[in-house]
């Protein structure tokens, strides 16, 4: 054997050895889902093992890191992947790279996103799919958001879902639904996620779910925000993203929907569907309020797990390819929307939306069904025959219009010192600008909100006593103590600030009960004292006497001793003028 031949053999042998060594490493990155043909999903220890293994396999392109801890002490893990080695947020921003943040398992029984995402990430790194995406875009992937819920593992945690064999639980160990927590941010997991979002500021935030509901043929829905509302530059980007995502899904054999398929009347297909602009407690709506793109991905629970993982996988690959191609345009649209939001002072802002009367009839791919009385519940029951597809011609309410609107303040909001710490914590989590007022001011003209009605819901919701208030803003002279917070309206996150601080927004701090004590009556006048006070007031004030006489013409008022005495107490100097006063003010000009 010649020297050259021997060298060649040695080289080939070394390559074979290297391949043999690499093969088990690559194989070790396969998930339990892959190994079982997507019949099963792995426990969280699999994420704890695979996260550093990805980094070890691709040390220049992947970083595994912990971004928080759950109440039960488990690490919240994320992987960042970038072909150019920019594996921290500051570097990605300096390079002008579009960042995509995807998460699985916010509802941990709906775990398609974890298994589809780990597979898609490996394929992108290997170059077999979306091979150029990571050259242009950076991916931050959170395999499981609700980690404690994931480990509450069981076979029947999702009784209306086909597979996997076992799965996690919908809510956290504190019994909180994370996809209702984006604004109030009560859960430690959500606080960690908001810090992660604030650090990376992804142009695209993708939340991977599985929907509940009726049996039908459609296998996935995409709820992209903003599309129906929002600042025009980023709204146009959202519409284009949605339309292309729908087209790609159809080309891959899916039957996608661009609205959430929840019947207007539960369990009655004939009532049809409605598009909506949801409250900001939901992931994609929250992120849209920050002038970025949010996508809620919902595979259909009655499709089997292999089908759902495959469709979610296709969606992840499509979104990464689109982000690589269009991400810089999305960033420009977001920047333009930020500039618009910083200039909303004095303009009308919609806090909520409702459907218009407009309806169009759609052909919906359902199954043959019957509505009949149930021998068990006594209610009307829908029985589907999933062996017999059927086209449903049903209504879709396809338009929205503003419902609750408010005029944005000219200057911003003032939060008195008594509430400053609580509000500052929330503002900081959301990245909303504010500053502390250093110098006290007396007799400043402000706008105040006095509730004409404040109602506490009959039961708690997500661990909070939920309030609804009626009332409006009016001008008053009030002191502004040193130590108050000033939240300027002239900032990119102005509309998110209004979500938190406008009391009639369904996700405001008022609505979530953080100012509940302001709507509680604390001082009273005993009836015998009120009788004497009322007699004196009637003697001294003829105008008051005439007003009281007119009120007595109302039989309901006349028959209510407490209301009659309260009439005088509310006009007496001892009345608590702060009762039903929302302790956040609006100002036309920034304070000193």
- Whether 16 has a pLDDT exceeding 50, the answer reads no
**Between residues 319 and 13, which one has the greater pLDDT?**
319
Mean residue pLDDT of the chain comes to 94
**What percent of the chain is predicted at pLDDT more than 70?**
96
Confidence at residue 576, expressed as pLDDT on a 0 to 100 scale? 87
Model confidence pLDDT, tens digit, residues 210-230: 998 899 999 999 999 999 999
Cα first-last separation, the chain:
90
DSSP label of 154? B
Q: How far apart are CA 295 and CA 7, in angstroms?
A: 55
- Whether 145 has a pLDDT exceeding 90, the answer reads yes
At 12, the pLDDT band (50, 70, 90 cuts) reads very low
Which residue in the block uniquely carries the two structure tokens 């791919």?
A: 365
Q: At what angle do helices 44-57 and 3-27 cross, to 10 degrees?
A: 150
Confidence at residue 224, expressed as pLDDT on a 0 to 100 scale? 98
For 452-468, give the DSSP string: EEEEE-SS-BTTB--EE
The full set of domain ranges for the chain reads 42-340, 355-402, 408-521+579-587, 527-569
Q: Residues 299, 219: contact at Cβ < 8 Å?
A: yes
Which distant-in-sequence residues (6+ apart) come within 8 Å of 124 by Cβ?
A: 81, 130, 131, 133, 134, 139, 317, 320
What is the arithmetic mean of pLDDT over 107-115?
98
Q: How far apart are CA 223 and CA 118, in angstroms?
A: 23
CATH number among 3.30.1300.10, 3.40.50.1360, 3.40.50.1110, 3.40.630.10, domain 42-340: 3.40.630.10
Neighbour order of strands in the sheet with 273-274? 273-274, 380-397, 360-373
Confidence at residue 21, expressed as pLDDT on a 0 to 100 scale? 39
Model confidence pLDDT, tens digit, residues 509-556: 999 999 999 999 998 889 999 999 999 999 999 999 999 999 999 999
Model confidence pLDDT, tens digit, residues 385-424: 999 999 999 999 999 999 999 999 999 999 999 999 999 9
At 575, the pLDDT band (50, 70, 90 cuts) reads confident
- Whether 22 has a pLDDT exceeding 80, the answer reads no
What is the arithmetic mean of pLDDT over 575-584?
93
Which distant-in-sequence residues (6+ apart) come within 8 Å of 16 by Cβ?
A: none
Confidence at residue 133, expressed as pLDDT on a 0 to 100 scale? 98
Q: How far apart are CA 317 and CA 125, in angstroms?
A: 12
At 11, the pLDDT band (50, 70, 90 cuts) reads very low
- Whether 189 has a pLDDT exceeding 50, the answer reads yes
Confidence at residue 26, expressed as pLDDT on a 0 to 100 scale? 64
At 13, the pLDDT band (50, 70, 90 cuts) reads very low
**What percent of the chain is predicted at pLDDT more than 90?**
92
- Whether 119 has a pLDDT exceeding 90, the answer reads yes
Tell me the two tokens of residue 261: 């398929």
- Whether 203 has a pLDDT exceeding 90, the answer reads yes
Tell me the two tokens of residue 102: 């995807």
At 63, the pLDDT band (50, 70, 90 cuts) reads very high
- Whether 317 has a pLDDT exceeding 50, the answer reads yes
Does residue 332 sit in helix, strand or coil? helix
Model confidence pLDDT, tens digit, residues 428-461: 999 999 999 999 998 899 999 999 999 999 999 9
Neighbouring C-beta atoms of residue 387, cutoff 10 Å: 7
At 25, the pLDDT band (50, 70, 90 cuts) reads low
């Amino acid at each position: 054997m010649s020297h050259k031949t021997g060298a060649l053999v040695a080289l080939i042998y070394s390559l074979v050895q290297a391949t043999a060594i690499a093969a088990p490493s690559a194989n070790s990155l396969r998930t339990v889902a892959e190994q079982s043909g997507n019949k099963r999903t792995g426990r969280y220890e699999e994420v704890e093992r695979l996260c550093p293994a990805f980094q070890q396999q691709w040390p220049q392109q992947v970083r595994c890191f912990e971004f928080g801890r759950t109440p039960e002490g488990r690490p919240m893990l994320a992987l960042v992947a970038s072909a150019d080695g920019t594996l921290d947020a500051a570097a990605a921003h300096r390079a002008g790279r579009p960042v995509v943040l995807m998460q699985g398992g916010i509802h941990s029984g709906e775990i398609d996103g974890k298994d589809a995402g780990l597979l898609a990430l490996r394929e992108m790194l290997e170059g077999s799919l979306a091979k150029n995406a990571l050259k242009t875009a950076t991916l931050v992937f959170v395999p499981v958001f609700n980690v404690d819920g994931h480990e509450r593992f069981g076979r029947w945690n999702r009784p209306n879902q086909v597979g996997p064999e076992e799965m996690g639980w919908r809510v956290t160990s504190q019994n909180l639904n994370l996809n209702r927590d984006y604004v109030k941010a009560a859960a430690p997991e959500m606080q960690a996620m908001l810090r992660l979002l604030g650090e990376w500021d992804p142009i695209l935030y993708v939340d991977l779910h599985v929907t509940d509901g009726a049996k039908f043929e459609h296998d996935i829905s995409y709820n992209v925000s903003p599309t129906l509302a929002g600042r025009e530059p980023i709204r146009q980007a959202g519409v284009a993203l949605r339309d292309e995502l729908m087209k790609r899904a159809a080309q891959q054999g899916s039957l996608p929907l661009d609205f959430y398929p929840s019947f207007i009347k539960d369990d009655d297909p004939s009532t049809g569907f409605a598009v909506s602009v949801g409250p900001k407690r939901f992931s994609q709506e929250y992120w849209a309020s920050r002038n970025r793109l949010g996508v809620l991905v919902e595979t259909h629970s009655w499709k089997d797990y292999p089908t759902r993982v495959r469709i979610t996988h296709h969606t992840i690959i499509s979104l990464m390819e689109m982000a690589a191609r269009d991400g810089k345009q999305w960033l420009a649209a977001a920047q333009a929307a930020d500039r618009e939001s910083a200039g909303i002072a004095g303009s009308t802002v919609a806090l909520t939306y409702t459907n218009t009367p407009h309806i169009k009839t759609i052909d919906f791919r359902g199954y043959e069904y019957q509505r009949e009385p149930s021998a068990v519940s006594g209610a009307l029951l829908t029985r589907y025959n999933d062996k017999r597809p059927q086209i449903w011609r049903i209504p879709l309410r396809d338009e929205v219009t503003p419902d609750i609107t408010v005029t944005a303040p000219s200057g911003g909001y003032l939060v008195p010192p008594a509430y400053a710490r609580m509000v500052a914590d929330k503002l900081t989590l959301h990245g909303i600008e504010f500053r502390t007022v250093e110098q006290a001011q007396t007799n400043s003209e402000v706008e105040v909100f006095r509730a004409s009605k404040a109602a506490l819901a009959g039961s708690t919701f997500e661990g909070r006593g939920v309030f609804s208030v009626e009332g409006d803003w009016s001008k008053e002279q009030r002191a502004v103590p040193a130590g108050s917070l000033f939240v300027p309206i002239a900032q990119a996150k102005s509309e998110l600030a209004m979500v938190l601080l406008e009391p009639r927004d369904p996700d405001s701090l008022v609505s979530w009960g953080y100012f509940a004590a302001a709507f509680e009556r604390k001082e009273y006048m005993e009836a015998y004292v009120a009788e004497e006070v009322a007699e004196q007031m009637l003697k001294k004030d003829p105008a008051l006497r005439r007003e009281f006489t007119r009120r007595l013409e109302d039989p309901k008022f006349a028959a209510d001793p407490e209301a009659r005495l309260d009439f005088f107490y509310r006009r007496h100097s001892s009345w608590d003028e702060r009762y039903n006063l929302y302790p956040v003010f609006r100002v036309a000009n920034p304070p000193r």
